[in-house]
């Protein structure tokens, strides 16, 4: 049996997944978690070394427990993070993550230097705090001693690639989230790099997702128990790899992912950015393909936060309680802006809130409101995608939002369309494994890899009475952000002014 492995360097942990190359069926997986650092309000960081140690551990566990020949490896990972390396390839400081919000001033500088419209034309996106380009400028401004040591800048999965293969490489889908890629050309933008005075030699070589970027180093292969010379695919940013893994490849299809963030991924027939920048226009992991992407920053992350507040209770018990509450939670709405928001508000200083809370609302209603608020926020993005002329004919679910009955029903009811699952909705690692199969020559084309993706029979149809309730609720939900924005910004300023640095370091 020929085995393909996908490795996903996620926000809360790394996952390795082994599949049977012939059938695409699941064989084995291994997961290792690591911490997120929050040294200040709005800051999120991780130790790149933790990614490397966790990746080595799960790959070794996979290699030790499978009966077959491993023939290919693909990589996926959280997007936008900035790993700053010195000339000896050592991390200079902790990596800044995708949901880090410290770079507002640098985003303003980028717009001043390049122009808002020109930036969207070239990179498909406005200057957002989570992207890599403003993080590089932040290091220049705030940590000049560290900036002086920079020899290269990598994305999270590509730092792990460096450890595995010794190659500085990335793929077009992940590079799309740096704000440094000319999306239409699928190459680094000379115009943007020169305007921001960022040396192109700091950046890795850009490949298409199914291309091999190199092979596993001999010493690493021996340590892990994997074959020497194992080809490693460029892979994809987590959402592009996940979309590939559920067969979302052509316009009219849409993948919906609820992990830490919530993502709607809509392939497009060509490069067609949103002029307002409310949704991203990125490269797909498929060669020459593009997509629009709406991002809710704190989706499953909101439910994880709520569980931590509730104390000693499992996710399963919380969600079971939420199923007993009625659609609309008796007038309780949750705004999931716990780490700011991208789509549609592009506001790093947005804040979360329960609105409509009364003495009638118990934990069940509040949990349901959290989950409903996440899907209502994702609906905002769906409406923008539709407004750009991209009609959605089929929704395929991926990740945790696919495995929960309530998440599935909420998406069907709030989006107003049936939602589908595939036989392997394991997320980015599965798509990365399929991409690894193309890189290894196991599949002659990406289409042959996509043929391994099979739909399940359990389609979830919208409940028409619930659809009507959620249409009404979404009309109420939509204006709440604007009504509360002034108060949100004042509270964010208050939090910044009163933060206790010692307490934050202990978090």
**Same domain? 148 vs 55:** yes
3 state SS of 113: helix
**Same domain? 220 vs 97:** yes
**Same domain? 439 vs 481:** no
Q: In terms of DSSP bridges, do strands 419-420 and 394-398 run parallel, antiparallel, or are they unpaired?
A: parallel
pLDDT in tens, 427-449: 799 999 999 999 999 999 999 99
Token output for 446: 């990406």
Q: Please, is 145 exposed, middle or buried when counting C-beta atoms within 10 Å of its C-beta (0-12, 13-18, 19+)?
A: exposed
Distance CA 257, CA 475 (A): 23
Mean pLDDT (the chain, rounded): 93
pLDDT, mean of residues 266-292 = 93
DSSP-H helix ranges across 29-82: 48-64
pLDDT in tens, 449-497: 999 998 888 899 999 999 999 999 999 999 999 999 999 999 988 988 8
Token output for 246: 């559920």
What is the pTM for the complete model shown? 0.89
3 state SS of 419: strand
**Same domain? 156 vs 61:** yes
**Is residue 335, in this structure, part of any structural domain at all?**
yes
Contact predicate 373/470, CB 8 Å: no
First to last CA, the chain: 46
Range of the domain at 395: 293-399+472-486
pLDDT, mean of residues 305-327 = 95
Q: What is the CATH number of the domain that holds 344?
A: 3.30.420.40
* CA separation, residue 279 to residues 275, 373, 383 (Å): 9, 19, 10
pLDDT in tens, 104-145: 999 999 999 999 999 998 898 999 998 999 999 999 999 999
**Same domain? 303 vs 210:** no
Contact predicate 295/282, CB 8 Å: no
494 CB contacts (<8 Å, ≥6 apart)? none
Q: How many domains does the chain have?
A: 2
pLDDT, mean of residues 247-274 = 92
**Same domain? 434 vs 395:** no
Catalytic pick from 174, 238, 274, 425? Answer: 238
**Is residue 277, in this structure, part of any structural domain at all?**
no
3 state SS of 497: helix
**Same domain? 20 vs 168:** yes
**Same domain? 87 vs 166:** yes
pLDDT, mean of residues 362-375 = 97
**Is residue 268, in this structure, part of any structural domain at all?**
no
Decide if 316 is catalytic.
no
* CA separation, residue 443 to residues 62, 368, 452, 456, 490 (Å): 22, 43, 10, 23, 55
**Is residue 383, in this structure, part of any structural domain at all?**
yes
Contact predicate 460/395, CB 8 Å: no
Distance CA 324, CA 237 (A): 37
Band of residue 46 on the pLDDT scale cut at 50, 70, 90? very high
**Is residue 409, in this structure, part of any structural domain at all?**
no
pLDDT given at position 506: 39
pLDDT given at position 505: 44
Distance CA 407, CA 409 (A): 6
* CA separation, residue 299 to residues 77, 330, 334, 417 (Å): 17, 21, 11, 20
**Same domain? 210 vs 358:** no
Distance CA 294, CA 381 (A): 5
Contact predicate 169/213, CB 8 Å: yes
């Amino acid at each position: 049996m020929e085995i393909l492995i996908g490795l996903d360097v996620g926000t809360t942990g790394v996952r390795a997944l082994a599949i049977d190359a012939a059938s695409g069926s699941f064989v084995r997986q291994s997961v290792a978690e690591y911490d997120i650092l929050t040294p200040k309000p709005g800051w999120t960081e991780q130790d790149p070394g933790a990614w490397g140690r966790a990746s080595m551990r799960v790959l070794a566990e996979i290699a030790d427990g499978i009966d077959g020949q491993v023939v290919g490896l693909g990589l996926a990972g959280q997007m936008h993070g900035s790993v700053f390396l010195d000339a000896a390839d050592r991390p200079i400081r902790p990596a800044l993550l995708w949901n880090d919000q410290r770079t507002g001033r640098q985003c303003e500088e980028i717009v001043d230097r390049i122009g808002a419209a020109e930036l969207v034309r070239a990179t498909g996106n406005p200057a957002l705090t989570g992207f890599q380009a403003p993080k590089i400028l932040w290091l220049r401004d705030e940590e000049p001693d560290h900036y002086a040591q920079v020899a290269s800048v990598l994305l999270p999965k590509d730092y792990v690639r460096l450890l595995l293969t010794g190659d500085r490489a990335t793929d077009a889908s992940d590079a799309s989230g740096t704000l440094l890629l000319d999306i239409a050309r699928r190459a680094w933008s000379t115009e943007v790099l020169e305007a921001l005075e960022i040396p192109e030699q700091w950046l890795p070589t850009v490949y298409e997702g199914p291309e091999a970027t190199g092979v596993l180093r001999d010493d690493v292969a021996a340590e892990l128990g994997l074959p020497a010379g194992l080809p490693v695919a460029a892979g994809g940013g987590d959402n592009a790899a996940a979309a590939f893994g559920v067969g979302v490849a052509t316009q009219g299809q849409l993948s919906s992912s609820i992990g830490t963030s919530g993502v709607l991924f809509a392939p497009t027939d060509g490069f067609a950015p949103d002029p307002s920048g409310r949704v991203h226009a990125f490269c797909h992991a498929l060669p020459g393909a593009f997509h629009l992407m709406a991002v809710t920053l704190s989706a499953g992350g909101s439910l994880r936060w709520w569980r931590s507040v509730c104390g000693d209770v499992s996710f399963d018990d919380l969600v079971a309680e939420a199923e007993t509450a009625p659609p609309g939670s008796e007038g309780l709405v949750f705004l999931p802006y716990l780490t700011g928001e991208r789509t549609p508000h592009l506001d790093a200083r947005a804040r979360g809130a329960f609105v409509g809370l009364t003495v009638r609302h118990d934990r069940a209603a509040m949990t349901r409101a959290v989950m409903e608020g996440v899907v209502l926020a994702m609906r905002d993005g769906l409406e923008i995608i539709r407004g750009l002329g991209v009609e959605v004919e089929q929704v395929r679910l991926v990740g945790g939002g696919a495995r929960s009955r309530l998440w599935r029903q909420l998406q069907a009811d709030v989006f107003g369309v049936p939602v589908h699952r595939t036989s392997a909705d394991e997320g980015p690692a599965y798509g990365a494994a399929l991409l690894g199969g193309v890189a290894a020559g196991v599949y002659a084309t990406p289409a042959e890899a996509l043929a391994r993706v099979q739909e399940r029979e359990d389609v979830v149809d919208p409940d028409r009475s619930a659809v009507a309730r959620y249409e009404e609720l979404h009309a109420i939900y939509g204006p709440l952000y604007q009504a509360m924005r002034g108060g949100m910004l004042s509270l964010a300023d208050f939090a910044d002014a009163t933060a206790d640095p010692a307490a934050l370091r202990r978090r």
